[in-house]
């Protein structure tokens, strides 16, 4: 790939200012092979997005269900690699990827090969009740896919259909483990067996809780919602249990300029979490576990340092409770390591690690002491889908063969550095550029500004998403390379420059100098 340089070390101001034509020339001169050779070189936008066909389809869908959240309708036949096509003929560079759930881009040839493999077809036709009637190759599939990438220290795994049910059943593991300790390994009493049917004490204990954090999203089903605290739309009108919620750190950026303040903030949050555990326990509402996202996604791409996560694990050890790391959005390589918590240098593995999204199937890894004693305690009809595990096995092979974690780290650094350049140029419009791997984000001053930017960026050929109050979140595929970042940064710069001019903000000196060149 072409060498990019500036006083900030990455994308030149000239490249950003001169836009898409400069990106085309750079790509033509590149000696780096595209990882998705069937994809187009650049976006093409023919209509406003959503276009007339998408609006027509949305209106029709709205007669069947609430379609208010639909952005546009996708033509998956025409989507390739890092590019998503809509039914109006627009082809967009996708930096949102079905809310971070597409690992190798659209219609990857290796996944097509896995689908067409004769011995695999039977699993796409028949979906078994895995807890009772697993297929004969199920053990092999688990070992070839999931156990190949198990977090270090965890070798037990349970598949599920989605992230929410993964969290809900992880909650069950923690409650069962606590009650097993309370019974000292003895079987439940007759009274417990009878009372639990009515949802009454002692069989259904009403004094057990789990601690979670402000800004979290652990799922939208009723049990997971007890640990979800991101937005009102997730929780309004639903009855919730009295479980403790601690503050998640709100770091200040650039990190290197606020080292002391950020350490104090993380220490404050750790002390608050421990105080809540102590006080809830004292009040008879025993905290049996702590759940935390490796990076808060829906809450606004909120990061914390290894110090925070190490301290949190120490607290769980002190109180002899379970430590759940939610990697539904961060797992499968987006952060440059297969699991984001590998960046934290934890003293030992978390007790539970949940996954979904890019893993194509839901589920959780867990330590052996959490294994249920009785069959059927963690159960539903499907418990996942062998067809998705077949595809995951192929994803893992491609990741290793093409060294995609190195690609993610290179692309991610390039992306973050480019975001910081534009942020420096327009400090009144953008702030807090951050990311690890290609799990990246930047903030706008208001939700209105962010939402308008998303629309404008999309109409210029790049699909992006929002999170938190005013965050632009970026979730490209594992195959995204520097030339994709160039396209996005050029579009982002055009949009932000327009926003700045409307605010009567003069271009900074660095921009004027670049334009003069």
pLDDT at 502: 84
**425-453 tens-digit pLDDT:** 999 999 999 999 999 999 999 999 999 99
**7-66 tens-digit pLDDT:** 333 444 445 544 555 556 555 555 578 999 999 999 999 999 999 999 999 999 999 999
Give the fold, CATH level 3, of 121-401: 3.40.640
Could you tell me whether strands 322-326 and 352-355 are parallel, antiparallel, or unpaired per DSSP bridges? parallel
Domains of the chain by residue range = 121-401, 403-472+496-501
pLDDT at 29: 54
- The Cα 337–Cα 287 span in angstroms is 31
Cβ–Cβ < 8 Å for 151, 341: yes
Check residue 365 and report its DSSP letter.
Answer: E
Confidence category of residue 3, pLDDT binned at 50, 70, 90: very low
* DSSP track, 429-493: T-EEEEEETTEEEEE-SSHHHHHHHHHHHHHTTEE-EEETTTEEEE---TT--HHHHHHHHHHHH
Q: Give the SS3 label for residue 130.
A: coil
Mean pLDDT computed over 152-167: 97
Output the CA angle 421-426-432, nearest 5 degrees: 65
Predicted TM-score (pTM) of the model is 0.92
Tell whether omega for the bond before 202 is within 30 degrees of 0, i.e. cis: yes
What is the pLDDT of the chain when averaged over all its residues? 93
CATH class of domain segment(s) 403-472+496-501: alpha beta
**84-96 tens-digit pLDDT:** 999 999 999 999 9
- The Cα 6–Cα 74 span in angstroms is 38
């Amino acid at each position: 790939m072409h060498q990019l340089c500036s006083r900030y070390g990455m994308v030149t101001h000239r490249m950003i200012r001169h836009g898409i034509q400069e990106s085309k020339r750079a790509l033509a001169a590149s000696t780096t092979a595209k990882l998705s050779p069937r994809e187009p070189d650049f976006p093409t936008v023919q209509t406003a997005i959503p276009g007339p066909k998408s609006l027509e389809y949305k209106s029709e869908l709205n007669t069947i269900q609430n379609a208010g959240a639909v952005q546009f309708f996708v033509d998956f036949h025409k989507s390739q690699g890092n590019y998503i096509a809509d039914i109006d003929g627009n082809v967009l560079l996708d930096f949102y990827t079905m809310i971070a759930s597409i690992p190798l881009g659209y219609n990857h040839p290796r996944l097509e090969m896995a689908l067409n493999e004769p011995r695999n077809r039977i699993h796409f036709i028949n979906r078994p009740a895995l807890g009772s009637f697993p297929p004969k190759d199920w053990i092999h599939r688990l070992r070839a896919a999931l156990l190949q990438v198990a977090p270090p220290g965890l070798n037990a795994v349970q598949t599920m259909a989605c992230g929410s049910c993964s969290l809900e059943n992880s909650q069950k593991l923690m409650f069962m483990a606590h009650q097993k300790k309370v019974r000292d390994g003895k079987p439940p009493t007759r009274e417990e067996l009878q009372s639990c049917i009515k949802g009454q004490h002692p069989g259904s204990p009403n004094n057990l809780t789990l601690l979670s954090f402000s800004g979290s999203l652990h799922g939208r089903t009723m049990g997971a919602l007890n640990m979800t605290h991101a937005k009102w739309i997730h929780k309004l009108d639903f009855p919730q249990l009295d479980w403790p919620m601690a503050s998640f750190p709100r770091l200040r950026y650039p990190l290197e300029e606020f080292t002391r303040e950020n350490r104090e903030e993380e220490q404050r949050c750790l002390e608050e979490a421990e105080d809540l555990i102590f006080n809830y326990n004292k009040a008879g509402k025993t905290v049996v576990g702590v759940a935390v996202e490796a990076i808060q996604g829906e809450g606004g791409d909120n990061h914390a340092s290894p110090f925070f996560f190490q301290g949190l694990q120490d607290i769980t050890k002190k109180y002899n409770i379970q430590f759940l790391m939610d990697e539904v959005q961060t797992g499968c390589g987006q952060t440059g390591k297969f699991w984001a918590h590998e960046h934290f240098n934890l003293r030992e593995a978390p007790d539970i690690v949940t996954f979904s999204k890019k893993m194509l199937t839901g589920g959780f890894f867990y330590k052996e002491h959490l294994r249920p004693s009785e069959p059927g305690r963690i159960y539903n009809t499907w418990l996942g889908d062998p067809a998705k595990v077949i595809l995951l096995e192929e994803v893992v092979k491609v990741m290793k063969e093409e060294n995609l974690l190195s690609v993610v780290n290179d692309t991610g650094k390039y992306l973050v550095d480019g975001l910081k350049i534009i942020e420096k140029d327009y400090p009144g419009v953008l702030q807090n550029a951050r990311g690890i791997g290609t799990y990246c984000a930047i903030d706008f001053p208001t939700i209105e500004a962010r939402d308008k930017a998303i629309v404008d960026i999309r109409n210029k050929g790049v699909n992006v998403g929002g999170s938190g109050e005013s965050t632009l979140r970026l979730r490209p595929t594992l195959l995204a390379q520097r030339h994709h970042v160039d396209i996005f940064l050029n579009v982002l710069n055009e949009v932000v420059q327009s926003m700045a001019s409307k605010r009567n903000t003069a271009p900074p000196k660095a921009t004027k100098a670049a334009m003069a060149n």
